[in-house]
C-alpha cells in the first residue's frame, strides 16, 4: 500500500542539547500529527555511530534516523577554533550529504525543520520546494537578540560591546553586556561572523518555532509579533510550541534498577539538590574542588554529575557523545576523603545521569544548573527551583531571566564577572534554595510556571494549537 503520510525532515546540529528537542519534536509530529519523520543527525568524528548518539535518549517512536557521514574538517579550521565555529563548519560540510540523501528519498519531505546551526540548509529546502522552519530550541529572548543584532548600527554595537552598555531590543528587556550571547563579545572572533550570518538567515524561514510558551515570555513574544520595528526584522509567524522536554517514556529508558534512582527513593521529599552542568559543561579543577567543599558544608543531600575538569574550556566534552569513554570513578580532583565522608548524604554520577527522571523525582528539591535551556525547562516542568551557574553561549541571559523576570533562581554575584565562587558562598546558596524562605518562595513560583507550561502544552493549549497550525500548513 502506498504511504500517504506527509513527510517531514528535521536536521539536528551536533550536541545533545540540540538533538534532544529535535527528537521530541519529531516524535510529536509522528504521534499527534500523523507525519512520517526523518531526522538527520551529523557525525562529529569518524567513530560516531547512530546508536552511540541515541544511547542516552528515549527513542521508541518510529522515526527514520539518518546519520550524515563524518567529514574531516581539520584542514578547514584553526585547531583553537571555538565550538561555535567548529559546529558551523561541520554543518556546512554536511550539506552535500543532506542534499544527496533528500534526492534519494522516494517520498520527498514537505518540510525541512532545522535548528540554530542549520540555517544554510534552507537553500536545499528551497531547491526541492519544501517549506522551511527554524526551530529555536532555546527561548524567544535569544531569538530576539540573534535576529536583531545584524540590524543594529555601528554606534549601538560600539556602545554594547566596547562601552559595555545594555543593548535595547525594541519592546523587550534590554540585554546587559555581561549577559550577552558569547559570540557577540568580540567582533574579531570568527564566531561573531557565524552568529551574524545565522541572525540574517533565521528570518528567511517560512515560520519560526520556539521552545517556550506564551505565558513564560509574554512581553518578548508580543514585541516580536506586534512591534513595528520587529515586523521589519521578522516577517514570518513565530510559534511558541514548548515546553519540549524528554519526559515521556523515560521508564523504558531508565527502568528501575538504576542505583541513583533507588537511592533517591529512600530520601525525604524535596530534600536532594541535583548538580549538573549539561551535556558537556565542566569547571576548572580548583572550582570543582571548592564546589565539593561547599556541598559538604551545606549538609544537604545531593546528586552530582561529575565530569573531569578542563581548565581552559568550560565546553569540556560537548562533543563526547559516547559518555562512557570518559566515565571515571577515580575522582582524584575532588578533596581528599570527600567521597567517603559524603557517602551517606550524596551520590556522584560520572559524566551522565538520567536527568529527566532525577528532576521528576519527588525527593529532588533544587537544581544547581549551568542554565542550558533544556535543563531549565526540565527544572520548570518539574517545579524545581534553581541555583544558576551559567558557563557559556546564551546561558547568562537565561540565568538573568530566571532570576529577575521569573523569580525561580538565585546566583552568586561573583559569576557576573566570571569569577571564582568560594565554598562558603556555595554553602549559602545551597542552604538558601533547599531550606530557607527564599527557596520556598521560589518553589511556589516555579510550581505555578509548571502548571502554566502544562496548560500550554496540553490539548487546546497555546503551544498545542501553535504546533497544530504548523502541521496544518505543512500538510496543505
To ligand UDP, the closest distance from the beta carbon of 16 in angstroms equals 4
Q: If binding is defined by CB under 6 A, does position 24 make contact with ligand UDP?
A: no
Q: Distance (Å, rounded) from C-alpha 370 to C-alpha 409?
A: 12
Among positions 10, 16, 224, 290, the unique one binding ligand UDP when judged by CB under 6 A: 16
To ligand UDP, the closest distance from the beta carbon of 355 in angstroms equals 3
- Between 296 and 378, name the residue whose CB sits nearer to ligand UDP: 378
To ligand UDP, the closest distance from the beta carbon of 281 in angstroms equals 6
Q: If binding is defined by CB under 6 A, does position 374 make contact with ligand UDP?
A: yes
Which contiguous run of DSSP H or E holds residue 409? strand 409-411
- Between 71 and 370, name the residue whose CB sits nearer to ligand UDP: 370
Q: If binding is defined by CB under 6 A, does position 375 make contact with ligand UDP?
A: yes
Residue 212: alpha-carbon gap to chain centroid: 12
Distances (CA, A) of 313 to 76, 181, 225, 309: 21, 17, 38, 9
Q: If binding is defined by CB under 6 A, does position 399 make contact with ligand UDP?
A: no
Residue listed under C-alpha cell 559518555: 323
- Residue 175's φ and ψ, nearest 5 degrees, are -100, 120
Q: If binding is defined by CB under 6 A, does position 15 make contact with ligand UDP?
A: yes
Nearest residue to the partner ligand UDP, using Cβ: 17
Query: Contact, 231 vs 262, CB < 8 A?
Result: no
Q: If binding is defined by CB under 6 A, does position 356 make contact with ligand UDP?
A: yes
Nearest to 3 by CA among 31, 27, 37, 26: 37
Give the residue numbers annotated as catalytic, written as ranges: 18, 115
Q: If binding is defined by CB under 6 A, does position 400 make contact with ligand UDP?
A: no
Among positions 11, 12, 20, 381, the unique one binding ligand UDP when judged by CB under 6 A: 20
| Helices marked H in 255-370 | 259-265, 285-298, 338-341, 355-360
To ligand UDP, the closest distance from the beta carbon of 22 in angstroms equals 12
Nearest to 203 by CA among 164, 230, 222: 230
And the C-alpha cell for 58? 528515549
- Between 184 and 373, name the residue whose CB sits nearer to ligand UDP: 373
Nearest to 350 by CA among 330, 367, 369: 330
Footprint of ligand UDP on 281-300 (CB under 6 A): 281
Footprint of ligand UDP on 223-262 (CB under 6 A): 246
Among positions 378, 384, 399, 426, the unique one binding ligand UDP when judged by CB under 6 A: 378
Q: Distance (Å, rounded) from C-alpha 90 to C-alpha 113?
A: 18
HSE-CB at 330 with a 13 A cutoff on CA atoms is 1
Q: If binding is defined by CB under 6 A, does position 59 make contact with ligand UDP?
A: no
Number of residues that bind ligand UDP (CB under 6 A): 20
To ligand UDP, the closest distance from the beta carbon of 353 in angstroms equals 4
Q: What is the DSSP letter of 422?
A: P
Query: Contact, 66 vs 36, CB < 8 A?
Result: no
- Site residues for ligand UDP per CB under 6 A: 15-17, 20, 246, 276, 278-281, 305, 352-353, 355-356, 372-375, 378
Amino acid at each position: 500500500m502506498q504511504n500517504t503520510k506527509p513527510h517531514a525532515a528535521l536536521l539536528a546540529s551536533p550536541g545533545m542539547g540540540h538533538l534532544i528537542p529535535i527528537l521530541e519534536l519529531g516524535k510529536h509530529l509522528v504521534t499527534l500529527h500523523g507525519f512520517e519523520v526523518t531526522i538527520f543527525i551529523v557525525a562529529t568524528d569518524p567513530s560516531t555511530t547512530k546508536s552511540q548518539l541515541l544511547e542516552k535518549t528515549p527513542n521508541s517512536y518510529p522515526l527514520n534516523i539518518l546519520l550524515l557521514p563524518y567529514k574531516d574538517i581539520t584542514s578547514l579550521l584553526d585547531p583553537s577554533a571555538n565550538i561555535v565555529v567548529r559546529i558551523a563548519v561541520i554543518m556546512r560540510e554536511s550539506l552535500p550529504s543532506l542534499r544527496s540523501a533528500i534526492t534519494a528519498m522516494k517520498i520527498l519531505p514537505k518540510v525541512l525543520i532545522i535548528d540554530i546551526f542549520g540555517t544554510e540548509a534552507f537553500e536545499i529546502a528551497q531547491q526541492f520546494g519544501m517549506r522551511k522552519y527554524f526551530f529555536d530550541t532555546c527561548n524567544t529572548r535569544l531569538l530576539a537578540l540573534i535576529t536583531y543584532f545584524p540590524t543594529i548600527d555601528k554606534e549601538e554595537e560600539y556602545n554594547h560591546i566596547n562601552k559595555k552598555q545594555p543593548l535595547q531590543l525594541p519592546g523587550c528587556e534590554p540585554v546587559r553586556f555581561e549577559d550577552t550571547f558569547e559570540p557577540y563579545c568580540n567582533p574579531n572572533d570568527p564566531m561573531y561572523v557565524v552568529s551574524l550570518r545565522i541572525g540574517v538567515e533565521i528570518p528567511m524561514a517560512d515560520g519560526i518555532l520556539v521552545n517556550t510558551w506564551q505565558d513564560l515570555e509574554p512581553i518578548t513574544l508580543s514585541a516580536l509579533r506586534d512591534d513595528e520595528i520587529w515586523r521589519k526584522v521578522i516577517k514570518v509567524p513565530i510559534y511558541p510550541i514548548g515546553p519540549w522536554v524528554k519526559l515521556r517514556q523515560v521508564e523504558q529508558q531508565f527502568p528501575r534498577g538504576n542505583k541513583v534512582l533507588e537511592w533517591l527513593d529512600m530520601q525525604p521529599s524535596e530534600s536532594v539538590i541535583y548538580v549538573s552542568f549539561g551535556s558537556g559543561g565542566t569547571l576548572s579543577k580548583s572550582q570543582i574542588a571548592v564546589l565539593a567543599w561547599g556541598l559538604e558544608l551545606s549538609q544537604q543531600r545531593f546528586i552530582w554529575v561529575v565530569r573531569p575538569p578542563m581548565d581552559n574550556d568550560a565546553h569540556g566534552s560537548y562533543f563526547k557523545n559516547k559518555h562512557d569513554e570518559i566515565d571515571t570513578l577515580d575522582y582524584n580532583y575532588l578533596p581528599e576523603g570527600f567521597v567517603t565522608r559524603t557517602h551517606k548524604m550524596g551520590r556522584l554520577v560520572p559524566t551522565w545521569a538520567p536527568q529527566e527522571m532525577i528532576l521528576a523525582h519527588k525527593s529532588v528539591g533544587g537544581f544547581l544548573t549551568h542554565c542550558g535551556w533544556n535543563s531549565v525547562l526540565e527544572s520548570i516542568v518539574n517545579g524545581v527551583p534553581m541555583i544558576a551557574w551559567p558557563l557559556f553561549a546564551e546561558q547568562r541571559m537565561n540565568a538573568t531571566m530566571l532570576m529577575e523576570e521569573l523569580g525561580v533562581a538565585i546566583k552568586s554575584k561573583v559569576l557576573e564577572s566570571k569569577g571564582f565562587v568560594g565554598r562558603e558562598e556555595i554553602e549559602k546558596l545551597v542552604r538558601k534554595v533547599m531550606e530557607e524562605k527564599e527557596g520556598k518562595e521560589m518553589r511556589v513560583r516555579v510550581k505555578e510556571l509548571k502548571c502554566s507550561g502544562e496548560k500550554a502544552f496540553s490539548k487546546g493549549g497555546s503551544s498545542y494549537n501553535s504546533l497544530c497550525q504548523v502541521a496544518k500548513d505543512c500538510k496543505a
